[in-house]
Chain A
Amino acid sequence: MHIAEGVLSLPVLVTGGAVAALGTAVGLRHLDADTIPRAGVVSAALFAASLIHVRLGASSLHLVLNGVAGLLLGSAVFPAFLVSLFLQAVLFQFGGLIVLGVNTAVMACSGFAAGMAARFLLRRGTPAFVAGCIAGGGGLLGAALLAAAALAASGEAFGAGARLLLVAHLPLAAVEAAVGGCACTLLLRRFPDLFR
């Protein structure tokens, strides 16, 4: 879901950049000695996850892990995504520096929302696997929706584009949900008070 250079219009680029900057500022304020290493590890995982791709039917997809990242990091998911997307843009030419803000905002906003939702559910006593599924699947679908919205705001027809993005990402959302559920279960089994 890296949006390429030259697709988005200027207002969308500016809005995305502003949201990403705000999120990063908030995220950095919440980082402390406990969460910095966690943010680093998650950032490295986000960076590497985009390289392992799975062929599903006609399309080829890769794990995004933004929901799980949001669950683990909270608002620190913004700087984590900023770093990994920046490095992907510079080293692999995925996305690009001009669209870095929009891509960060798309991934991190939905990841943050899904992660927070999962944390809330966990506190209410929802089983870890279900909460993890919601974080993983919800984060990915949210990112697909936001990407479609960014494209629509730049002139691409929303209906068709969004449906295409959502349908294309449904199988991946299932995979992400499973990964999120497993990760959440494993982590909470060993460290029951991780998200408190």
Chain B
Amino acid sequence: MNRNSSSNTFPALLEISQKNRSAARRHFHTDMSLRTVLLVLGLALLGLTLAPHAGEAHRLLVFAYVEGGTLLGEAYFNDGAPVKQCPVSVTDDEGREAVSGTTDEGGRFALVLPEGFPAKTLLVSVNGGGGHKGTFRLDMPDAGSPPVNVAPTAGTAPSTVLAEQTPQPSPSEAPSGVLPSPEALETFFTATLEKALDENAALRRVALLEGKLAALQEELLVLRRELAGPRIPEVLGGIGYIIGITGAALWALSRKGGSGKR
């Protein structure tokens, strides 16, 4: 009989069927129907765990990051489908709107943040219509130039160059008043030239790093999207809770009514 064949695969589900049998064996037909329903449910669950994409379209996720004064981001449903052509609104945590826009066909958006918007925290929310809404909380990095903090990883040279950058010695500072000697002029120009070259190299490194950072952010987006769907432990946990609630209800009833005497 099918009961024997199913007992290995769905022991937990069978357990309710047995509980049910002991508690409510008044009507044979209900009992049988339950067994069939259980079997169907078990098969559906098996299909679910085997399905490669277990997700659904009713949770809207938003992810965003700031790059050079522009807010870049993406909105998608948690099965990975993009949220197309939907309004995006960026506010601070007190609800003042900084900027708003729309997502494109790929669910992406790029919004230029207004100069000097004094927010430490930005709330980026996308309204997908039909009751779908997602909000992403973005903690802004400090306004002081973030690339400088990143630069030292590339080596020692740029950090010294960038450290020198802060005092900003003006070209007119060395020779003033008297005409300088050709040697002095030559050393001054070579120094300036070298510094300019160094700065150029540092800038290029920063640009390179920013490019790498953008690639990382992209990768992060992909990862987040993959992690968005419900995972199997959560699914099984939920089913377990429902079985537990059912069992508890039956237990309470059997203690009260006495019909469930073993």
Interface residues of chain A, those whose CB is within 8 Å of chain B, are 1-8, 31-34, 36-41, 43-45, 47-53, 55, 58-62, 83-84, 87-88, 91-95, 147-148, 150-151, 156, 161, 164-165, 168, 186-187, 190-191, 193-194
Contacts and interface: CB of A to CB of B under 8 A. Distances in A.
27 contacts: A4-B134, A7-B127, A8-B131, A34-B24, A34-B27, A37-B17, A37-B19, A37-B246, A38-B37, A39-B246, A40-B242, A43-B242, A52-B47, A53-B53, A53-B79, A60-B77, A61-B57, A62-B56, A83-B241, A87-B238, A87-B242, A91-B230, A151-B131, A156-B129, A186-B36, A190-B32, A191-B33
B32 to A, nearest CB: 7
A156 to B, nearest CB: 8
A59 B253 CA distance: 44
Interface string B147-160: 00000000000000
B235 interface: yes
A2 B242 contact: no
Nearest to B59: A94
B246 A40 contact: yes
B229 to A, nearest CB: 8
B212 interface: no
Contacts of B129: 156, 161, 164
B131 A3 contact: yes
Interface stretch (B110-118, B190-198, B254-262): B254-262
Interface size classification for chain B: 35 or more
A4 B41 CA distance: 28
B255 to A, nearest CB: 12
Contact of B253 (A36, A92, A186): A36
B253 A33 contact: yes
B45 interface: yes
Interface string B221-244: 000000000100011011101110
Contact of B132 (A4, A48, A50, A62): A4
A53 B77 CA distance: 12
Interface string B22-63: 011011011011101110010011011001011111111000
A40 B16 contact: yes
B130 interface: yes
Contacts of A33: 23-24, 26, 250, 253-254, 257, 259-260
Contacts of B243: 40, 44
Majority SS at the chain B contact face: helix
A40 B20 CA distance: 11
B230 A92 contact: yes
B250 A187 contact: no
A62 B79 CA distance: 11
Contact of A44 (B19, B41, B259): B41
Contacts of B241: 83, 87
Contacts of A91: 230, 234-235, 237-238
Nearest to B245: A83
B102 interface: no
B242 A47 contact: yes
Contacts of B79: 53, 60
Contacts of B250: 33, 36-37
Nearest to B47: A52
Given A37-B24, A48-B239, A87-B238, A2 B58 contact: yes
A48, A168, A187, A193: most-surrounded residue (chain B CB, <10 A):
A48
Contacts of B143: none
B214 interface: no
B242 A37 contact: no
A37 B34 contact: yes
Given A33-B24, A94-B56, A41 B249 contact: no
B127 to A, nearest CB: 8
Contact of B57 (A60, A84, A92): A60
A49 B56 CA distance: 10
A84 B245 CA distance: 11
